[in-house]
Structure 1
Amino acid sequence: MSITLTTWSLEQTSPADLTPAAGTLGDGIRIERAEVPSPEFSRFLYASVGQDIHWTDRLALSYEEWTKYLARPGVETWVAYDRGTPAGYVELDPQDDGVVEIMYFGLLPAFRGRRIGGHLLSVGTARAWDLADRWPDREPTRRVWVHTCSQDGPTAMDNYQRRGFRVFRTETEEKAEGPTPGPWPGA
């Protein structure tokens, strides 16, 4: 079975483009960097956030492929926690020429609609802009970009635009539905 999928690419070209979420995080909510690369944790976040919005591109990755990706200098995972429970994440993927992609961003279904996403995206975007401060061999960030699609949550596009991202490309394609998330063999 296939679906029509629209993908929007959005960008910021200056740290001044970022409009942080208003207000403060609720009690018990914190956002911190997962500094120890963990394929198990990253796959848990990916599968848990993406299960109902059909994230499938990484489901076939082996443990070794996850390990290799996470070990790349500058790849960072920032996690939102609600009283110690993972609520969502943003993954930063450094690219050439001072470009950082927000590769994945989202909340687990139980944490959506609680105003966590705007704060998580604000922190993740700010950390994309100052990535070179933590990775000295990296040139300063000059562009942060992200993509979202018609399968993402109904507030995704609005959240990106409220944070100051601007659409620079729109693509539409027919796509086959992918597999259901689950652990990799041997997990």
Structure 2
Amino acid sequence: MSNTVTTWYLEQTSPDDLVPAAGPPAEQGVRIVRAEVPSPEFSRFLYAAVGGDILWTDRLEWPHARWAEHLGQPGVETWVAYERGTPAGFIELAAQAEGAVEIVYFGLLPVFRGRRIGGELLSYGTARAWDLAGRWPGRAETKRVWLHTCSDDGPYAMDNYRRRGFRLFDTTVAVTPPAPAPGS
């Protein structure tokens, strides 16, 4: 059976668009830290742990060298949310040409969803995106922060993006072919 997937593209065009989340209570012990040392193993762990139940698959086959190359690119940053020392989720940013920064991946491990960490992490990551592009040689100041989400993502993703001030700028619909039958 084929699957119809809707993809929504959202953006902010000014730092003033960001509407920060209230964040989790202090007693949760949430902190957000940049993963400054590119670590293919850690990044693959985050990707698989966050995306496992929502079918993130495009990077699962990446070899160690491809992870290392990607993470070592100028303008790529990974920020990790921790709750009392345990990784809770991550946001990956990538500075692009002409002052755009993409939020490439964002999400929480399933056990940490619904604990007000997602709004805090998205707020923090978006604020970092607004000052990311201009810090790299040859890159313009950030003029736009954008991302995409789809109907396969978590049920609260779109609401969180809109509450943080992201606006829809495009929508696509794709029909994915049915999975092959076992043994075919």
| Normalised TM-score (structure 1) | 0.90
Take 1:25 and 1:136, find their aligned partners in 2: how far apart are those partners? Answer: 38
1:22: Cα distance to partner? 1.9
Is this contact kept in 1: 2:102–2:146, CA < 8 A?
A: yes
Take 1:75 and 1:35, find their aligned partners in 2: how far apart are those partners? Answer: 10
- Distance change >3 Å, CA 24–CA 50, structure 1 → 2: closer
Take 1:117 and 1:135, find their aligned partners in 2: how far apart are those partners? Answer: 27
The aligned amino acid for 2:60 is L
Q: What is the aligned partner in structure 2 of residue 114 from structure 1?
A: 115
Residues 100-158 of structure 1, C-alpha deviations (whole Å, 9 max, x = no match)? 00000000000000000000000000000011464354321000000000011111000
Q: What is the aligned partner in structure 2 of residue 69 from structure 1?
A: 70
Alignment gaps of 5+ in structure 2: 180-184
Q: What is the aligned partner in structure 1 of residue 4 from structure 2?
A: 4
Q: What is the aligned partner in structure 2 of residue 93 from structure 1?
A: 94
Q: What is the aligned partner in structure 1 of residue 14 from structure 2?
A: 14
Give secondary structure in 2 for the equivalent of 1:124: helix
Residues 66-111 of structure 1, C-alpha deviations (whole Å, 9 max, x = no match)? 1110010010000000111100000001111010000000000000
User: What is the identity percentage for the equivalent residue pairs of Structure 1 and Structure 2?
Assistant: 69
After superposition, residues 1-187 of structure 1 pair within 5 angstroms as 1-23=1-23, 25-27=25-27, 28-132=29-133, 134-176=135-177
Q: What is the aligned partner in structure 1 of residue 182 from structure 2?
A: none
Is this contact kept in 2: 1:77–1:90, CA < 8 A?
A: yes
Give secondary structure in 1 for the equivalent of 2:69: helix
The aligned amino acid for 1:31 is I
Residues 157-186 of structure 1, C-alpha deviations (whole Å, 9 max, x = no match)? 0000000000001111112578xxxxxxxx
Larger radius of gyration: 2
Take 2:84 and 2:71, find their aligned partners in 1: how far apart are those partners? Answer: 26
Give secondary structure in 2 for the equivalent of 1:120: helix
Take 2:58 and 2:178, find their aligned partners in 1: how far apart are those partners? Answer: 11
Take 2:48 and 2:58, find their aligned partners in 1: how far apart are those partners? Answer: 10
Q: How many residues align?
A: 178
Is this contact kept in 2: 1:74–1:94, CA < 8 A?
A: yes
